[in-house]
Amino acid sequence: MIKNIMLLTKISTRNFLETFKIVDKKKKRINKKSIYVWLFLVVIIAITYLSNEVLNFLDDYGQMHIFLDVIFAIVMMIMFMQTIIACMNILYFSKDLEYFLIFPIKTKELLLSRVQTMTNILYLTEAIFLLIPLILYGISTMANYAYYLFIIPIILLLPILPVLLISIVFLIIMNFIKKIKNKNRLQLISTIFFIGIIVVFEIVFIKGLLSNNMNYEQVGLSLVNIFKNINNSMIVINPLINILEQKYVLVNMLKIVGIYAIMYAILLFIGNKVYIKNILKAMEYYKKKIKTKVNLYKTCKSQKISKAYMKNEFKNLFGNTTFFMQMIYPICITIITLITFAISFRINAMTSNQELYNLIADLQLTLEGVGLTAGIAQILFSFSNISITAISRQGKNATFMKYIPVDMYKQFILKNIPQYVVNSVLSIVLLTAIKIIFVSITWIDIIIMLPICIVLGILNSCIMLIVDVKRPILNWNSEMEVIKQNGNKIFQYVWTIIVVLLLMYIYNIFENVNLYMGIFITLIIFTVLLLIVNIYVKRQIKKNKLFKNII
């Protein structure tokens, strides 16, 4: 049994890891061309820097011990979110399940291998977010050798909790939600569930942070209490911290093993009864044919080419679960997070923290504020992958756009429209959130800032589409590869850095210029940039160069 579980886990984990292309198999060394290698490197440097800063800060106040509470709570939250997103796919909708089902494998072997695959994925998260801070903590506190030795079981044991907990919840959900007919609806439900968790968490977090007219020191303490509460509710974290601090190691270890043994027993008990049955049900629904005749007189309505083309672009985004999860879902989360944060902040500041409220109420819009807003808008645009995958999403039939009698420039514009819409919505939401938080900023200020954000959004879409048109990824077998193996994303990050630096430079030069004049100049600069990009696109199309790589 263990051999089978290990074999299945190995295959599934390898499939997952291969999408990152971290290792160059031919040369048997780190693949320097992989965007993920560089991303991991950047994140590791950032985590090291931040951890060091936090540790120095806490050391100054003699509060170093708080660090473990904070880091464990944060990593646990990250892992919970990651598991919620991955769990449904790995347990029920992963492509390799179809191949595994034909083998003589027991239910518990398949289930445990899926659970272990998820755990392995989380080990990667831990390696980035937990391992380095723990080592730095050890160095800062001059910990003994045992501390470093105990890091290994901590790393191995921590992710098991979110994986088991969420797997059990999903096993139950899948069994009871009989009306879910396909993956799309199921994904929608899990999206709403996840958004719900974020909203509740944000409200509780901000309320806890801003209550009772606290000063900054009290706010800090309140923040620590929130982390401690998270750790208390995640029953294994405190025993794990105790092990690391070498307090009652054996007792705490037995406690964790006991908790996990019970959870595994529950998982296997439920899983044995429902898992395979529900996988088959999910697959059957996914492939089920509806067999309803279509009323051609109702459905066949002619539309203008532009409208039909645009509608098709939206359908491609919303009708495909993977694309929806990769392109639209992060935007939904961002919007909900922004609005919830703004409303919650405003209410709590008004009712519980008059000092903070008065401070914010006195703030006036400055040119730096405009630059900061535009910079945040640009960062938000980078969360979305619509334009940067507009061609790649079509895969092998991206050539369709080349043999239909529709002007290529028109197609370029139409392909960008979903991203324009999303960026414009993000801009409006961001500015509304700013208006909610900063009461002194007028609606006129907001309306004046909007064009800058909109132009930035359009510019971002155009540049990302150019990148995708020039370097499309068309030979993929599963939709996940469109994002996961898409090295073009680096261009989005580079462009975001360029825009932010440009904004900083502009507002540095026009520091003493009148606010509205400064906004106008910024708008002119980005509009000119947009026009230049537009001319470039037209020229490239005329020379048959822009879409050359779509073959």
Partner 1 sequence: MIFSPYKYKKVNCMIEIKSISKSYIKGAKIIDNLNLEIKDGEILGFIGPNGAGKTTVIKMMTGILEIDQGDILIDGKSIKSEPYEAKKNIGLTPDNPDMFLNLKGIEYLNFIADIYQVSENDRIQKIKELAKKFEIEDALNEKIESYSHGMRQKIVIIGVLLHNPKNWILDEPITGLDPKAIYDLKIMMKEHAKQGNVVFFSTHILEVAENLCDRVAIINKGKILFLGRVSELKNKMKEENNSLEELFMEIIEND
Residues that bind partner 1 (CB under 8 A): 287-294, 296-297, 299-305, 307-309, 311-312, 315-316, 319-320, 395-397, 399-400, 402-407, 544, 548, 550-551
How, if at all, do strands 29-30 and 23-24 pair?
antiparallel
Shortest CB 478 distance to partner 1, Å: 12
Closer to partner 1 at the Cβ: 5 or 310?
310
Q: What's the one-letter identity of residue 423?
A: N
- Residue 360 CB neighbours (<10 A): 18
Closer to partner 1 at the Cβ: 29 or 304?
304
Closer to partner 1 at the Cβ: 308 or 497?
308
Closer to partner 1 at the Cβ: 31 or 184?
184
Closer to partner 1 at the Cβ: 295 or 512?
295
For residues 208-234, one letter each, b for 16 or more C-beta atoms within 10 angstroms of the residue's C-beta and e for the rest, the string is ebbeeebeeeeebebeeebbbebbeeb
Q: What's the one-letter identity of residue 113?
A: S
Shortest CB 300 distance to partner 1, Å: 5
Shortest CB 403 distance to partner 1, Å: 4
Closer to partner 1 at the Cβ: 16 or 323?
323
Shortest CB 304 distance to partner 1, Å: 7
| Beta strands, E only, 390-530 | none
Shortest CB 385 distance to partner 1, Å: 17
Residue 383: phi, psi to the nearest 5? -70, -25
Q: Return d(Cα 423, Cα 498) in angstroms, integer.
A: 18
Q: What's the one-letter identity of residue 284?
A: E
Closer to partner 1 at the Cβ: 250 or 294?
294
Shortest CB 98 distance to partner 1, Å: 14
Closer to partner 1 at the Cβ: 212 or 302?
302
Q: Return d(Cα 88, Cα 327) in angstroms, integer.
A: 18
Q: Do 82 and 122 touch, CB atoms closer than 8 A?
A: yes
DSSP, res 93: I
Closer to partner 1 at the Cβ: 273 or 548?
548
Which residue bears the tokens 């239910």?
Answer: 107
Shortest CB 545 distance to partner 1, Å: 9
Angle at 120 between CA 18 and CA 164, to 5 degrees: 140
DSSP for 342-354 reads: HHHHHHHHHHH-H
Shortest CB 97 distance to partner 1, Å: 17
Q: Return d(Cα 222, Cα 216) in angstroms, integer.
A: 10
Closer to partner 1 at the Cβ: 2 or 300?
300
Closer to partner 1 at the Cβ: 322 or 522?
322
Cα distances (angstroms) measured from residue 170 to each of 78, 86, 271, 285, 514: 18, 11, 10, 17, 57
Q: Do 252 and 239 touch, CB atoms closer than 8 A?
A: yes
Shortest CB 547 distance to partner 1, Å: 9
DSSP, res 511: T
- Residue 26 CB neighbours (<10 A): 7
Shortest CB 180 distance to partner 1, Å: 17
Shortest CB 470 distance to partner 1, Å: 15
Q: Which two tokens stand for residue 60?
A: 């100054």
Q: Return d(Cα 419, Cα 387) in angstroms, integer.
A: 6
Q: How buried is residue 178: exposed, middle or buried, by Cβ count under 10 Å (0-12/13-18/19+)?
A: exposed
- Bridge partners, residue 358, by sequence: none
Shortest CB 311 distance to partner 1, Å: 8
Closer to partner 1 at the Cβ: 255 or 393?
393
Tell me if residue 23 falls in helix, strand or coil.
strand
Q: Do 159 and 77 touch, CB atoms closer than 8 A?
A: no
